[in-house]
């Protein structure tokens, strides 16, 4: 499942994960970048007053639980393995998408609502561009906001509807503006930036439309994330593990569960958002 995360999350596609120990992880930062000094023979060496600080990557447990009839357990091994493999595939995709929902929007995918107690999420950035009919210019403007804040953008995450605007954009003579930009979601590059396309950018259909159409920024250093623990895939035959009020055994059911413990910290001032809702 850890391997499959990279195929369902724009964050995982644009930003490498880090090895992280269990629990809160302090990430050391500095209040300024040091500058080198040339020193002639017998010249005096100077120091700089740069103070180390830290931010904390906080763990967030993410789980998928699915109830189903226990009758598949009576079938032959090939059929049982097929059921479990299909669940693993679906659960992996859901867990991967959850990384984007949490780090971008602080949204709980199951309920589609915001987790207001979370204050660190990319959508809190104040650098915003209004989405309109010229996505290439709007992404350019968002990159400019990032660059003007002394940050070099490395990637762009796009909603499929926005990527479609780029893929179908034409000059007055009907030539495509971006002929190398594919029609599918399997996009890896745009205007020199690494690119990834997913509807996790807008939040649809798991939640109401956030209005976000593209996210531009430093995915190398702006998002620090890792998988602290993958909890083994579990078939639960007894009890009420999803708090539905119904005992599994009493209803001839089993619960299938997959869990991952993520941790992340987003440096929101290293990102700009293209959004149809500039107040969100």
Which residue ranges make up each domain of the chain?
Answer: 3-33+51-268
Query: Tokens 């956030």 sit at which residue?
Result: 210
Pairing of strands 155-158, 193-197: parallel
Q: How far apart are CA 214 and CA 270, in angstroms?
A: 14
- Mean pLDDT, the chain, rounded, equals 87
With cut-offs at 50, 70 and 90, classify the pLDDT of residue 100: very high
Q: What pTM, to 2 d.p., does this model score?
A: 0.86
Pairing of strands 253-266, 223-236: antiparallel
> What local confidence, expressed as pLDDT, does residue 131 receive?
94
Residue 199 tokens read as: 């509807």
Residue 40 pLDDT > 80, yes or no? Answer: yes
**Mean pLDDT, range 201-212, rounded to an integer:** 92
> What local confidence, expressed as pLDDT, does residue 279 receive?
47
In sequence order, the β-bridge partners of residue 262 are 60, 227
Packed helices 135-148 and 160-167: angle between N→C axes, nearest 10 degrees: 110
Reply yes or no on domain 3-33+51-268 having CATH 3.30.360. Answer: no
Write the burial class of residue 18 (CB in 10 Å: 0-12 exposed, 13-18 middle, 19+ buried).
middle
Residue 105 pLDDT > 90, yes or no? Answer: yes
Query: Tokens 């109830």 sit at which residue?
Result: 67
Q: How far apart are CA 107 and CA 160, in angstroms?
A: 19
Q: Which of 209, 225, 180, 162 lies closest to 9, judged by CA?
A: 225
């Amino acid at each position: 499942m850890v391997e499959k995360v990279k195929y369902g999350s724009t964050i995982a596609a644009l930003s490498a994960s880090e090895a992280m120990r269990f629990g809160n992880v302090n990430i050391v930062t500095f209040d300024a970048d040091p500058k080198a000094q040339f020193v002639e023979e017998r010249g005096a060496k100077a120091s700089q007053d740069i103070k180390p600080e830290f931010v904390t990557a906080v763990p967030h447990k993410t789980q998928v639980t699915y109830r189903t009839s226990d009758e598949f357990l009576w079938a032959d091994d090939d059929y049982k393995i097929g059921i479990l493999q299909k669940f693993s595939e679906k659960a992996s995709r859901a867990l991967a998408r959850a990384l984007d929902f949490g780090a971008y929007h602080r949204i709980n995918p199951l309920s589609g609502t915001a987790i207001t107690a979370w204050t660190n999420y990319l959508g809190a950035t104040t650098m915003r561009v209004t989405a309109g009919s010229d996505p290439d210019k709007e992404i350019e403007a968002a990159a400019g906001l990032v660059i003007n804040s002394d940050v070099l953008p490395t990637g762009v995450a796009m909603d499929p509807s926005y990527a479609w605007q780029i893929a179908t954009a034409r000059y007055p003579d009907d030539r495509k503006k971006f002929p190398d930009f594919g029609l599918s979601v399997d996009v890896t590059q745009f205007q020199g930036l690494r690119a990834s396309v997913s509807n996790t950018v807008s939040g649809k259909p798991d939640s109401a439309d956030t209005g976000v159409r593209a996210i531009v920024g430093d995915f190398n250093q702006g998002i620090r994330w890792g998988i602290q623990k993958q909890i083994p895939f579990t078939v639960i035959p007894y009890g009420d593990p999803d708090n539905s009020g119904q005992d599994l055994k009493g209803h001839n059911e089993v619960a299938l569960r997959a869990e991952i413990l993520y941790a992340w910290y987003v440096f929101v001032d290293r990102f700009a958002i293209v959004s149809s809702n500039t107040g969100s």
